A and B are shown apart, each in its own frame.
Chain A
Amino acid sequence: MSIILNNKGQLKIKQMIFMLLAVTLFLILAGLFFISIKVVGLQKEVIELKRDKAAGLVEKISGNPEFVFDGKANAIDSDKLMILKTQTEYLSIVNGKRKTFWGVDGIIVRKIYPLEEDIECTNENYPDCNLIKIFTNSNSAPISSFVSLCSKKNVNGINQDYCELAEVMIEEESLNEK
């Protein structure tokens, strides 16, 4: 009688252990599922916030001292951009990842009139070029805005401000290392 009861008791305990294991496993799986959904949501939000930052920056980029062409509204200085290409102070390495001062991956400025084939500006061909790339090798980026691209020019011995229409494109910061 005692052996039968003992066996019955052990069986009950085993049943309970299995049940508890199942419940715990279920809770863990449900937790993991919830966390994975949260992480995906969070990643989307981070991307969205980085895009918002880039969009906010592109609208006001001409106000930055490194870009501003003094005395003209919504105008950027192409001479300064050419110098900025080589200014290493604006680049840093944070946690092994390359960061720019503006928190974006790169800035591209393209003259849009007259429409010509892309010629990247270098110290050798400037100003006879139409594409200035800053901290990037890309030729275009999705977030853009239009500005006046201005420089000082000497025409027939007279110095004047010379402005052309240009598109500023911003490469938003990527989540993964480049």
Chain B
Amino acid sequence: MDKTGLEFGFAWLFAIIVGAAILFMAIYAVTQLIDSGEKETTSKVAVEFANVLDPLQSVVSESKGGYVDLFVEARIFNSCNLEGNFGNSVVSFSEKISFGGGWTKRGLEKRTNNAYLFSENQMQGERVEFLTFPFNMPYKAGDILIAYTDNYCIVNAPSGVKNELKFLTGDGDKVIFVQNTGECNRETKSVCFSGSCDVKVQCSNSLCNSGYVDKEGKRLYFSDKLIYAAIFSSAENYECNVHRLVKRLGIVSDIYSKKSAFTSNRGCVNVNIRPAILSLKESTNSYEELSDLIIIESLAKEIDDKNEVLECQLY
């Protein structure tokens, strides 16, 4: 009788151990599957988001505003690197889980070398607002793509800046314009053209097409439309993406210098602009920091002036 009991006990013990092992493996597999499913979804969103960046580019020299709806609350992580000839904007996503209120793990990073995404390092929301400006120095070298989800309160903006931003942001309430810092909500990010704020803009002329922005303890020099990138982007992303734009400008300048020789052979003589273009290319190669933008800007102006008087203009 005792022996029968022992036999029954061993069989059960064996079954329980192996069953538990199988159950453990099954639970582990399901957890991994859910995890990879979430990662797959967020990675797919990142790729779709990066795909949207191409159509957001400007076709002619126009600036434009727009938005992308994500349909679920998401965190968008944006960073930038200078790898290769052009560098990359690197985007990844995390989505809010509908039950429990937690966040999914960050999905795979999507790199794109054809977009210059200026934004905070992390954005959060269901809708991402975009502003697009061509980066002309003096010819187009890329598009400044600004993304933001926060609310901004802009204090004492010059009329040119105010009108342009008002036109591009439309009826949206993400960017408001006031006369005094006291009129800004606490939840909004304040941007001051005079006085003290989170972001302080110092223009060097009334048109505000050059100057600097002080934020995060750094001084971000800007030229022309880069003012908006400096306002809406993190200092880190701004510095890196401007460097990427300058790298692209160097390569595009190479194309323009070859074009001037190419078209001059066919009767469209503009080869005398070539040395200035080559100087611009040289200065992009020696670019190190934002203050070097001034040199690039002056060379760009010189090329523009020369091109203006050409009988057969290069661009």
Q: Which residues of A contact B (CB under 8 A)?
A: 2, 5-6, 8-9, 12-13, 16, 20, 23-24, 27, 31, 42, 45, 49, 52-53, 56-57, 59-60, 62-66, 68, 70-74, 77, 79-80, 82-84, 87, 89-90, 92, 101-103, 127, 151-154, 159
Residue in chain A with minimal CB distance to B254: A87
A65–B15 contact, CB under 8 A? no
Q: Which residues of A contact B48 (CB under 8 A)?
A: 49, 52
Closest 6 CB pairs of A and B: A154-B267, A159-B312, A9-B7, A70-B315, A152-B268, A63-B59
Q: Which of B229-237, B258-266, B282-290 is near enough to bind chain A? A: B258-266
Q: A5-B7, A24-B22, A49-B47 are in contact. Are A154 and B55 (CB under 8 A)?
A: no
Q: Does B184 contact A (CB under 8 A)?
A: no
A2 CA / B29 CA spacing, docked (Å): 43
Other-chain residue from B26, B54, B143, B312 in contact with A152 (beta carbon distance below 8 A): B312
Residue in chain A with minimal CB distance to B250: A89
B54–A12 contact, CB under 8 A? no
A45–B44 contact, CB under 8 A? yes
Q: Which residues of A contact B3 (CB under 8 A)?
A: 2, 5
Other-chain residue from B51, B140, B262, B263 in contact with A53 (beta carbon distance below 8 A): B51
Number of A-B residue pairs with CB-CB distance less than 8 Å in the complex they form: 121
Can you name 10 A-B residue pairings with CB atoms under 8 Å? Answer: A13-B11, A16-B14, A20-B18, A20-B22, A56-B54, A73-B60, A83-B259, A151-B263, A152-B263, A159-B311
Q: Which residues of A contact B268 (CB under 8 A)?
A: 152-154, 159
Nearest CB of A to B229, in Å: 17
B312–A74 contact, CB under 8 A? no
Other-chain residue from B15, B57, B114, B266 in contact with A103 (beta carbon distance below 8 A): B114
Size bracket of the B interface:
35 or more
Q: Which residues of A contact B140 (CB under 8 A)?
A: 65, 68, 70
Other-chain residue from A64, A92, A101 in contact with B57 (beta carbon distance below 8 A): A64
A53–B11 contact, CB under 8 A? no
Nearest CB of B to A86, in Å: 9
B11–A63 contact, CB under 8 A? no
Given contacts A65-B141, A101-B86, 20 further A-B contacts (CB under 8 A): A5-B7, A8-B7, A16-B14, A16-B15, A20-B15, A27-B25, A27-B26, A42-B40, A49-B44, A53-B54, A64-B114, A73-B60, A79-B263, A80-B259, A83-B259, A87-B251, A87-B255, A89-B85, A90-B85, A152-B312
Q: Does B139 contact A (CB under 8 A)?
A: yes
Nearest CB of B to A169, in Å: 16
A19 CA / B26 CA spacing, docked (Å): 17
Q: A5-B7, A49-B47, A60-B55 are in contact. Are A154 and B139 (CB under 8 A)?
A: no
Q: Which residues of B contact A (CB under 8 A)?
A: 3-4, 7, 10-11, 14-15, 18-19, 22, 25-26, 29, 40, 44, 47-48, 50-52, 54-55, 57-61, 84-86, 112-114, 139-143, 248, 251-252, 254-255, 258-259, 262-263, 266-268, 311-312, 315
B54–A79 contact, CB under 8 A? no
A57 CA / B54 CA spacing, docked (Å): 6
A12 CA / B8 CA spacing, docked (Å): 9
Q: Which residues of B contact A45 (CB under 8 A)?
A: 44
Nearest CB of B to A30, in Å: 10
Q: A27-B22, A152-B263 are in contact. Are A13 and B311 (CB under 8 A)?
A: no
Other-chain residue from B50, B113, B255 in contact with A66 (beta carbon distance below 8 A): B255
Interface centre among A5, A8, A159 (most CB of B within 10 A): A159
Q: Which residues of B contact A5 (CB under 8 A)?
A: 3-4, 7
Interface centre among A31, A65, A79, A80 (most CB of B within 10 A): A65
Other-chain residue from B14, B22, B86 in contact with A23 (beta carbon distance below 8 A): B22
Other-chain residue from A16, A59, A84 in contact with B255 (beta carbon distance below 8 A): A84
